[in-house]
């Protein structure tokens, strides 16, 4: 069994971005800019946003942090996004979810310029992903493909089974795998005979949000197992895969933490650089 080291791969990606950013600064005197928008004081969201801004600085991007009070109105937030949309120094806009209940997240998402939508969640980018020509694709799914590529895992013709159909992980990763010529099956809570389906997987992506959901009876020998899950059990981070059991059968497997998690933020930075380059 080979352990897929997301920490190492994400560090390499960030190193490459740092180098490219320094080159851009020398060549054109400009660097990419990412604006993070946080509404309210949710501690987990505050940590995520702080981390994103910190990595921006490490890479050499400009970061524009907007930390807004929980009382910010929808109109005020829309106005802030409008200003970020027209600010040439801002190439990527990330609105940290969840937003307070009085703000319609869908409306906010739609207000972001699709060319600055570094999360890849705007319907325009979702549609482009579906037809196979998106520049900005969602970070976690794109990070999963980057891991498969780094470990030279063949995708064309392989049967990829995706557990979960969320707009954030399941559906976009299925599209990306299809684009890479995998035969893709998407499973969800109504899927019948789940074990029969998952046992056919050459590549199994678990994005269910249930700790230890995937056990060794659900995988065949040699499968590549990608665990997207982040669940807290007794204060400890746990994936959707029962790692100890499944690692005995898997060909390659991601740990939690240290697998998919660190890739998400690296790909957010990569998307910001792509959005910047598209404006040059
Ligand atoms: P959602 O809750 O939005 O989606 C979960 C999916 O799993 C749904 O499609 C649901 O089916 C399916 N599901 C639930 N129970 C079962 C079951 N018994 N059998 C089959 N399918 C089932 O979660 P997300 O996609 O947002 O996230 C999934 C996990 O990934 C979470 O643990 C989350 O924390 C983590 N995550 C990690 C990220 C990272 O950076 N590493 C980024 C984003 C998420 P149905 O649609 O029918 O309800």
Atom number of ligand 1 nearest to Cα 165 = 9
Please name the residue that has the structure tokens 């928008």: 37
CA of 39 to the centre of ligand 1 (A): 24
Are both 28-113 and 139-261 of the same fold?
Answer: yes
Tell me which residues have their CB closer than 6 angstroms to ligand 1. 140, 163-166, 168-170, 187-191, 194, 207-210, 228-231, 260-261, 264
CATH classification of 28-113 is 3.40.50.10860, yes or no?
Answer: yes
Which of 55, 145, 166, 211 to probe ligand 1 with, by most ligand atoms within 8 A of CB?
166
Using the mean position of ligand 1's atoms as its centre, give its distance from the Cα of residue 250 in Å.
Answer: 21
Q: What is the pLDDT of residue 241?
A: 98
- In what order do the strands lie in the sheet containing 252-253? 2-3, 252-253, 224-227, 203-206, 159-163, 183-187
What integer pLDDT is reported at residue 230 of this predicted model? 96
pLDDT, position 245:
97
Query: Per residue in 211-224, pLDDT tens?
Result: 999 999 999 999 99
**What stretches in the chain show pLDDT beneath 70?**
none
Which protein residue's CA is at the shortest distance from atom 31 of ligand 1? 209
Residue spans of the domains in the chain: they are 28-113, 139-261
> Can 196 be counted among the known catalytic residues?
no
Q: Does domain 139-261 have CATH number 3.40.50.300?
A: no
User: How confident is the model at residue 232, as a pLDDT?
Assistant: 93
pTM listed for this prediction: 0.98
C-alpha torsion sign, points 92, 115, 68, 262 = negative
Which one of the listed residues 66, 116, 117, 119 is annotated catalytic? 119
Looking at residue 4, its pLDDT comes to: 98
Does residue 119 have an active-site annotation?
yes
Question: Which residues neighbour 269 within 8 Å (Cβ) at sequence distance 6 or greater?
Answer: 13, 14, 17, 34, 55, 56, 59, 61
């Amino acid at each position: 069994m080979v352990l897929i080291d997301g920490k190492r791969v994400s560090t390499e990606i960030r190193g490459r971005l740092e180098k490219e950013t320094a080159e851009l600064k020398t060549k054109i005197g400009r660097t990419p800019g990412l604006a993070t928008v946080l509404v309210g004081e949710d501690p987990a969201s505050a940590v995520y946003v702080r981390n994103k801004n910190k990595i921006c600085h490490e890479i050499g991007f400009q970061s524009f942090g907007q930390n807004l009070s929980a009382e910010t109105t929808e109109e005020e937030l829309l106005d802030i996004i409008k200003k970020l949309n027209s600010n040439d120094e801002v190439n990527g806009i990330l609105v940290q979810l969840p937003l307070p209940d009085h703000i319609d997240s869908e409306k906010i998402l739609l207000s972001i310029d699709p060319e600055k939508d570094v999360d890849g969640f705007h319907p325009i980018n979702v549609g482009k992903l579906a037809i196979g020509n998106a520049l900005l694709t969602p970070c976690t799914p794109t990070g999963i493909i980057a891991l498969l590529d780094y470990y030279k895992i063949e995708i064309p013709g392989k049967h990829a089974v995706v557990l979960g159909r969320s707009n954030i992980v399941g559906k976009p990763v299925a599209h990306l795998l299809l684009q890479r010529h995998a035969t893709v099956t998407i499973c969800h809570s109504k899927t019948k005979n789940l074990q029969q389906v998952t046992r056919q997987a050459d590549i199994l992506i678990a994005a269910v949000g249930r700790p230890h959901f995937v056990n060794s009876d659900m995988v065949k020998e040699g499968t590549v197992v990608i665990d997207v899950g982040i669940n807290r059990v007794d204060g400890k981070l746990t994936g959707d895969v029962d790692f100890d059991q499944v690692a005995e059968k898997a060909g390659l497997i991601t740990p939690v933490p240290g697998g998919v998690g660190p890739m998400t933020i690296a790909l957010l930075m990569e998307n910001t650089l792509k959005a910047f380059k598209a404006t040059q």
